[in-house]
Chain A
Amino acid sequence: MTTAHGPLIGVSAPRRKNLELLAGKATYVADIGLEGQAYARVVRSSSAHARLLGVDCSDALRVPGVLDVITAADIDDIRIPIRLPFAESPEANRALQAPLARDVVRYVGEPVAVVVATDPYVAEDAAELVLVDLEEMDPVVDTATAGEPGRPRLHSSLGSNTVNQLAFRYGDIDAAFAEADIVVRRRLRVHRLAAAPMETRGLVADYDRNSGVLTLWGGAKVKHFTRSLLARVLGLEPDKVRVVEVEVGGGFGTRGEPYPEDVLIAWLARRLERPVQWIEDRWEHMVATNHAREQEHDIELAATAEGQMLGFRVRGWCDHGAYIRTQGLLPVVLPMLHMPGPYQWQAFSMDLDAVLTNRTPVGTYRGPGMTEATFVRERMVDILAAELHMDPADLRRRNLIPAESMPFVFNPGPGSSGVMPIAYQSGDFVESFDEMLAAADYHELRAGRQRARSRDGKAGVGMAVYIEFAAVGPFEEVDIICDGRGVTVRAGVGSVGQGVETALAQIAAELLGAELEDVSVEFHDTAEIPQGFGAFASRSTVLVGNAIAAAVNEIRIKSAELLGCGPDGIELHRGNATGPDGRTVPLAELGGVRGRFDKDGLTASFGGAVCSASVDPADGRVRLDRFLVAHDVGRAVNPRLLRGQLAGAASQGIGGALFEELAYDDNGQPLSVTLADYMMPTAAELTPVDLAVIEHGSPSNPLGIKGGGEAGMVGSLGAVVNAVADAIGDGADLLSSSVSPARVWRALNHQSSLDGAGRPAMET
């Protein structure tokens, strides 16, 4: 399916939009200024857990310029639902968040009231005058014990703070452990992180009384879900709600989910009948936008003396924060799905609990669940390798699922609950693993480590391998409209700053024989596009790309009917379909053609990261000398964009391991509310990320694509921490995914060791 200008899929076409972005002309949500626009400021809880005795707005209402102040008493008693049916439980559905707190506040930052004024400075002044009467209650801030009986309960409608319990039994776990020569046990902790895009969230809502249409700008990721939610909450027909995406300053999983503010700002615009803008400030962002990752796991791993990994048992607690938000139980579902990874286990037993604590709700952040599970498993593999005095690469390699076992399934056995089979459709993990080691020049890295050690240097090499499940269905639809030589593709996903429009245009142009510059991709406005599920789980290119392929097939069929030939005989070129006899029909005559791609299940792909690092014993500073990401993308549509995604995600992950942490004190007060405290890495701390892009085409879709937007993140915590532990040496028990300078220094100087949460470690 090539065209006169050669193939376009697989070409590093320049990214669209760059001109506008570089010239400073792009419009982000804060840049929208509508006639008569008012400004909202959210009043938030200063307490982690308290009874809400009253909210007095009278002083705030007297401030000149204030238009309105609302509390929970002003709006219907609704809850923001979970948008993924497979991520619900009855308990989770009793822990949903109301747009404004009612009766109890459950985390610092929870919305309590909203002030609207003619000026954002005035709105902030008035918000300070809203008097919130709180009666403090004991907060729950420890993940592992949050669900225990006797702990203060966050939601009185629940019997405990546990909202879901997943169990997965595979094989005969007791037999696997009985057979073992060695068992290693640890308590591992994954620390709390934030996606922290450079642009905070923001919204503009406007209600047009004449047409009865409410428009919301700023929702980006799951526009169609947001539209139905707002329609329901505001009592409007869905076609009277428009959700329009503008330029987005980074998403990474957190932006564009419907949050309390989406409901509140839309509601206020309708009530006031004038446009209302809300721009989250950075302090708010650090307490209001979904957090991620916080988990603890007791894990034990059984192996033979020769390094055959037989089985593992894990008992884990996944913090969901104070409420279950739109992504439901994904913070517990996804770690379970990704915990076994690419190894040929005889047996395993997993029990993961979803718990609530008095902290900001947890959602998904790039590489969700898989990053946490990969850290836990891969850290244990390295601990085992150290015990066995084996090269960690050899230990991994001999336990990978061999290619001849594909497709491979871990089926849940008796005693399992709430889980699905874990299925890998394709891949040659061993070959991919060897490609990764070769690309990383692993043996040279190990030799360099030895050379550094002979000079008393603290140098280490670490790695992590993983399976990433991505490209979740159920489906996407596109409309393709040909008009002369121009082609318009309308799709329901969203752009969250990742450049997906360029990759989709490449697919459409190649399949239609069009020039790339003649293809425009539109997905910004729910009023103009078919349904869609959104931009998450690295699904956009896979789902929409294949929907485009389906639409093009439809175009072939339709034009073949007109030309009286079979669809395979059709050649598409620059807006025309030509039959074998040379007769031609302009595609413009076909009108809009819809294509749809349905996808069952998830696409699994193999990947890994290799890291070499050195540590300074004097101050605990970690220097990364090399970082490589290997990932099987199936087929790279735009290698340059893909590399940008992989390297960017890896850099984010490296920052998460080395510097970033959302810390809380014992009272549930957040400690990381400035960007001086939430330390994201800069040019001075980051290292170039090398990439090994593996292309083992996926059988799960005609284009053979797998996901790529998140993969760079998945192995990052595991690889960095393993490298640092190797550098410290002497079996350093690094049990937290954070290797901040302070933690590394402590590990170097107190090798008696604590577990990731600061408690004495379990014995090996």
Chain B
Amino acid sequence: MAGWLAPDESVAVNLTVNGEARQAHAPPRRTLADALREEGFTSVHLGCEHGVCGACTVLIDGAPVRSCLMLAVQGRGHAIETVESLCDGDDLGALQQAFDDNDALQCGFCTPGFLMLIEGFLRLEPEASRQQIVEAVSSNLCRCTGAVGIVQAALDFQSTRRRSP
């Protein structure tokens, strides 16, 4: 039977991030977002730490999730993907390129979260309608662009992926 971890007990947390095994060390209360950042995945941004802004969105087993609303210990045994996984070597991946093409970013702080949100959503719903995409994109907050470019980037990426899945 599983035992208790004491509040200040830092435990080894085995995570799989972007296909690589990682061992983070975290006490129970450490959020997954903080643990990922401590592991060097600083693309996971903290905009609110209460699950509203979405800047910390990552994929857990392919699903877009707010990593500030998970404990690091809950990440054990799950496949985690961050924005680093979208790059094609040193080049941008297709979704990132669609963001660039559509002026879907300015300050860039919300960008990794939006990228993972859209990547995860379109894996789940590859044939999503425009309305569904708008609703999915409304999960996260962007303060610079007005979000219209982000929706267009998602639509462009959807058609790119349809052509060459």
Contact = CB atoms under 8 A, between A and B. Distances in A.
Interface of A: 14-15, 17-28, 30-31, 121, 195-200, 247-250, 252, 279, 281-282, 496-499, 640, 643-644, 647-648, 650-652, 674-676, 680-689
Given A676-B52, A684-B135, 14 more contacts: A18-B108, A21-B105, A22-B111, A25-B43, A28-B42, A121-B27, A197-B109, A498-B106, A640-B103, A651-B147, A674-B50, A682-B137, A683-B137, A683-B148
Nearest to B85: A24
A688 B147 CA distance: 9
Given A22-B96, A250-B143, A675 B50 contact: yes
Contacts of A674: 48, 50, 52
A686 B151 CA distance: 11
B120 interface: no
Nearest to B140: A682
B28 to A, nearest CB: 11
7 contacts: A28-B109, A197-B143, A198-B107, A250-B144, A497-B109, A675-B48, A675-B53
Interface of B: 27, 29-30, 37, 41-43, 45-50, 52-53, 55, 82-84, 87, 92, 96, 99-100, 103, 105-112, 115, 134-135, 137-148, 150-151
Given A24-B43, A683-B150, A644 B108 contact: no
A640 B143 CA distance: 18
B108 A21 contact: yes
A93 B39 CA distance: 47
A31 B82 CA distance: 16
Contact of A675 (B42, B45, B52, B151): B52
A654 to B, nearest CB: 8
Contacts of A279: 46
A26 B82 CA distance: 14
A683 B134 contact: yes
B47 A689 contact: no
Nearest to A22: B96
B106 A497 contact: yes
A651 B108 contact: no
Contact of B148 (A498, A652, A686): A686
Contacts of B43: 23-25
Nearest to A496: B107
A603 to B, nearest CB: 23
B141 A24 contact: no
A688 B134 CA distance: 12
Contact of B144 (A20, A281, A648): A648
A120 to B, nearest CB: 8
Given A31-B42, A684-B134, A644 B52 contact: no
Contacts of B105: 18, 21-22
Contacts of A30: 37, 42, 45-46
B141 A680 contact: yes
Contact of B147 (A24, A31, A498, A682): A682
Nearest to A675: B52
A286 B145 CA distance: 21
Pairs of residues from A and B, 6 with the lowest C-beta to C-beta distance, nearest first: A24-B43, A497-B107, A249-B109, A21-B108, A651-B146, A684-B138
A441 B50 CA distance: 43
A676 B141 CA distance: 11
B107 A249 contact: yes
A24 B95 CA distance: 13
A650 B146 contact: yes
A644 B47 contact: no
Given A31-B42, A282-B49, A23 B96 contact: yes
A193 B90 CA distance: 41
A196 B143 CA distance: 8
Contacts of B112: 24
